[in-house]
Each structure stands twice: as structure tokens, then as C-alpha cells.
Structure 1
Amino acid sequence: MNLLHIDSSIQADGSASRMISAAAVERLKAAHPDINVTYRDLAAEPLAHITLEGLSSAHAQGVLDEFLNADIVVIGVPMYNFGIPSQLKAWIDHIAIAGKTFSYGPEGVMGLAGGKRVTVALSRGGLYGEGSPAASIEHAETYLKAVLGFIGLGDAEFIVAEGLALGSEQREAALAGAFAQLDERLLQPAG
């Protein structure tokens, strides 16, 4: 079984999304001791933004193959300026490829990358969840749900820690809640 672990925060060890994604991987490794983990740190080694020539390069094919070969994908995502980091957007542009992860047909788009278990560890400094006054300007979770669904991964699990910039007590409570969600969801079979 292959697990692809993606991190995209620029904050290194202080990153909540990195802490949560690492905890997710540790729980999955405990549940599946034979798992093979591939790690990609998009902040430390960002992918080039795509170009027409770049899409056909061996490097771009390697990034796509790495994703296609994964049975499980864990993505650490901080929300920056209401959306995802540009490094993560560049990775998505490398994996959202017509004919490989999606196709168009008479019935519309069909995702081709299904069958993977995907866990997104999302961190937000403020409160942007459903029902909050700022929910309408949250474009990280909504974008990821849309693009993952587009390529056939509409059942991705989102572990969200928010309000992290609202003081140390709120940060600790949000992280504890995220770790509890991991225990509840990742220690159970996918489905």
C-alpha cells in the first residue's frame, strides 16, 4: 500500500497543518505497518508553475505518477488569504490532467482518480466554517472539495482546525479537536 504525504505550509515546525498531516500519517502507519510513505514538501521544494512544455516533461510525469500510484493521500493545507498556497495549486495543476485524472464525455466530466483514500488536514487562523460570518470568503476547503471531486475524489475527509490565531487556548483546543477527529476517522476503515 502506498501513501503520498503532501505538505504546503511555509511555516515549517510552527505549522498546524503540518502537525495535523504528520499525525494523520502516523495513525495510518500504525494501522497499516507495511505502508510505503512518499513525502513531498511543496514549500521546501516547490514545483514550477505549469507551462505547455512543462506538462510533457519527465518531471511532471513523475509528479503525476507519484499521485496515481498512491492508495492514500494526506494533504496538509494552511489557508492563506482565503485560499490555498500557490505551491499547492501548482501541484494540483500537475495532477489534474485530462485523460489521466479526469475526462469529458457526453454526460459531462468524469473523475478518473477515484479509489484513493484522501485526508486533507486544513488549518485556518480565523473562523470560516459553515454558519460563521466569514464563511463566504473561505476558498480553501471549498476549492479543494471541488477539484478533488472533479478528479473522482469527492469523498475526501477534511480535518479542520480553525481559529488558530485567536489565542493560545483557542489554538490548543482547535488542535486537540483535529487530533480527536483523526482518531475517530483514521482508525476506522475508509468508506
Structure 2
Amino acid sequence: MSNLLVTLPLQLFCHLVGTTNCIYENFNSVPGQNSVSVSEPKTLPIGYVAFPDVGMAYKWTDVAAPTWNEARKRCILEGANLASPDSFKKIRYAYSVTNGKVQPYLGIHKTYDGVEWTSDRTGLPLTSLPWAPSAHPQDVEKKFTYLNVEGLREDAGDTTGTFICEIILV
């Protein structure tokens, strides 16, 4: 409860200033040694929508990239990565920025051996992913993912497509 009281002035400040992108974190409440470490509010590039409860900001780019790899490069140019939503909550948030119109590329792809699904941002294997019920993640020909309203779907990654970039809010 004391952590909530400590952050209340910051929350009020963010609302008064009128920004939706204020981030605060790292609360240390130890008897006799209370301290708060607050990160500076992160300014997001134009077009990104912040979702602080999952620590991400997403941007849908409706200008199609010719391939998955080109989409990845375009996100990097913005200081972002292709989005790698690893939960159904993040899927819903990412889908919300597309206005439900497309099935954009995401940053989850198979490793070079074609077995493990990994995050483009971290390069680490992802063992539990929010697949759509109709997905076939074991298909060896499909090495990339795109966003579907029901979850992740797999794709060959060689077609023109829109994409979603993500920035971590830390």
C-alpha cells in the first residue's frame, strides 16, 4: 500500500501534464530505508501507442514491406524491433493498433535449423506462445509469424505485408 502512495504524485503529475507515456518503476519499501527510483518519462516516436501494464509500445506500419526481413530492418531504423507479443494480452494490444484490418508481420521467427521459435528482439527461444487455434507452428516451411485476431499464425515470410514494431517502455 505504501508503494501506491509513493507513486500517487507521479501518476497525478502524468495526468496533469497530459501525456500518456509516463513510466515509473523500481519501488523499494524497506522499513527505515524507503526510496523510490523513478525513470524519466520515455518519449516515443510518432505513431507508437503505449501499453504500460505490459511494458510495451506498438506501432502498426500500413506501408507494406516486400518481405519479413525488410519489415525487421524498417523497425530497426526507428530504434524498435518487430513486435514479439508472447501473451494473449499483448496480442490484443498489438491487434488494437491495426484497427483490425490486416494480418501484419511480427518478430517471432524460427531459428536457422527451423525448429525453435525465437524473438527477433532477444534472439532467445520462446517456448510458450499464444498461437491461434488454426495455427500449425510445427510446419517446417513456415518460419515467420503474423498477427491474427485469435493469436499468432505462421507464414513463409516471402510476401509483401504490413508489420508492427515495438519499443520496450523501460
TM value normalised by structure 2:
0.28
Indicate the structure with greater helix content.
Answer: 1
Indicate the structure with greater strand content.
Answer: 2
TM value normalised by structure 1:
0.26
Structure with larger Rg: 2
